[in-house]
Amino acid sequence: MGGDHGPSVVVAGAALALERHPGMRFLIFGDEAAVRPLLDSKPALKEASELRHTTVAVRMEDKPSAAVRAGRWKSSMWLSIQAVRDGEADAAVSAGNTGALMAMAKICLKTMASIERPAIAALWPTLRGESVVLDVGATIGADAMHLVDMAIMGSAMARILFGLERPTVGLLNVGIEEMKGIEIVKEAARLLREADLPNLAYHGFVEGDDLGKGTVDVVVTEGFTGNIALKTAEGTAKQIGEYLRSAMSRTWTAKIGYLFARQAFEALREKMDPRKSNGGVFLGLDGVVIKSHGGTDALGFASAIDIGYDMAHYELMRTIRDMLEQTPAVASA
């Protein structure tokens, strides 16, 4: 029921995801009066879904604490997370209020053993393909061990999505030199370097421009910096798109040039389409929860479902637990 467009995008996105993964099944939580007509228009999805009615929905403007108090036990958001906790679902996907989703997920699912704070990991388009970037907004601030935990969890996600045995990990910093940066980041770098974990390869410090280059498979930073970086990248992509549209329509010769270069521009638009990378993974929880962008369309929501499918199918939780067994070695280092 959340996001800018409510159930119309959720149902249409689920129908697209079902075409890609025909064996998938859905539990859909929401107001039956709003959802049922949409499901009736998608026979294949209707056959693969169970609709569970509730009239309580978390609003996008609700504060997380207020949403938990008012919506706990009966909101569509809470019920979807509870289905994961109770083993009825393998992943929960929502386009709703991010703060409320994180708060409810922490209460309902709890964090994994040895993880103090969860993180939101996002797929980031790069010149080399894609990277995992975390944290993009779950928690503000971090200590050295939290950064190490995020490196381990992000590497587990990269192993699943990219098929890598030992993903490369970089810590986002103001420079690549070891003497630069705040003490927390330098301490995390020391821990990762000395631990030499078998399932990730610590690369060193990376800078902001390395995000787009794809210098490493996993970029680790705390949530304040990560969220600013994410929003800056999204804004820059929109800005470039507007510049191109304006330039291509300015003169007749530009319009003719666009016709000749149309395929190249279509390829660029495809590469920069944020819907293809939509879906932030809540890492560190004892269950899979995916946050879709609230303003996305059906294609974007389907991409978020695809990520949830991969995280469940390829056993993200088990992969993280296996890698966290190495954490004591990091702490002792």
The Cα–Cα gap between 164 and 105 comes to 28
Q: Are residues 182 and 208 in the same domain?
A: yes
Tens digits of residue pLDDT in 280-325: 999 999 999 999 988 889 999 999 999 999 989 988 888 888 887 7
- From 54, 88, 109, the end of a domain falls on 109
Q: Are residues 248 and 182 in the same domain?
A: yes
Q: Are residues 136 and 259 in the same domain?
A: yes
- From 76, 109, 142, the end of a domain falls on 109
Residue 73 pLDDT grade (very low, low, confident, very high; cuts 50, 70, 90)? confident
Q: Are residues 130 and 91 in the same domain?
A: no
**CB neighbour list of residue 278: distance below 8 Å, 6 or more residues apart:** 292, 293, 296, 300, 301, 303, 304
Q: Are residues 97 and 135 in the same domain?
A: no
Could you tell me if residue 139 is inside a domain?
Answer: yes
Q: What is the per-residue DSSP string for 226-288?
A: HHHHHHHHHHHHHHHHHHHHHHHTSSHHHHHHHHHTHHHHHHHHHHH-GGGG--EEEETBSS-
180, 1, 13, 19: which is closest to 74 by C-alpha? 1
pLDDT above 90: residue 91? yes
Q: Are residues 185 and 325 in the same domain?
A: yes
The count of structural domains within the chain is 2
Q: Are residues 58 and 157 in the same domain?
A: no
The Cα–Cα gap between 196 and 210 comes to 22
Do the Cβ atoms of 90 and 300 come closer than 8 Å? no
pLDDT > 70: percent of the chain: 93
Q: Are residues 104 and 141 in the same domain?
A: no
- From 91, 109, 127, the end of a domain falls on 109
Could you tell me if residue 147 is inside a domain?
Answer: yes
Tens digits of residue pLDDT in 190-225: 999 988 888 899 999 999 999 989 999 999 999 999
Q: pTM of the entire structure?
A: 0.86
Residue 119 pLDDT grade (very low, low, confident, very high; cuts 50, 70, 90)? very high
Identify the residue whose tokens are 């330039």: 247
pLDDT above 70: residue 327? no
Could you tell me if residue 292 is inside a domain?
Answer: no
Residue 65 pLDDT grade (very low, low, confident, very high; cuts 50, 70, 90)? confident
**CB neighbour list of residue 35: distance below 8 Å, 6 or more residues apart:** 7, 11, 28, 51
Q: Which domain holds residue 70?
A: 7-109
Q: Are residues 124 and 88 in the same domain?
A: no
Residue 239 pLDDT grade (very low, low, confident, very high; cuts 50, 70, 90)? confident
Q: Are residues 232 and 139 in the same domain?
A: yes
Could you tell me if residue 58 is inside a domain?
Answer: yes
Q: Are residues 134 and 103 in the same domain?
A: no
Could you tell me if residue 308 is inside a domain?
Answer: no
Q: Are residues 219 and 327 in the same domain?
A: yes
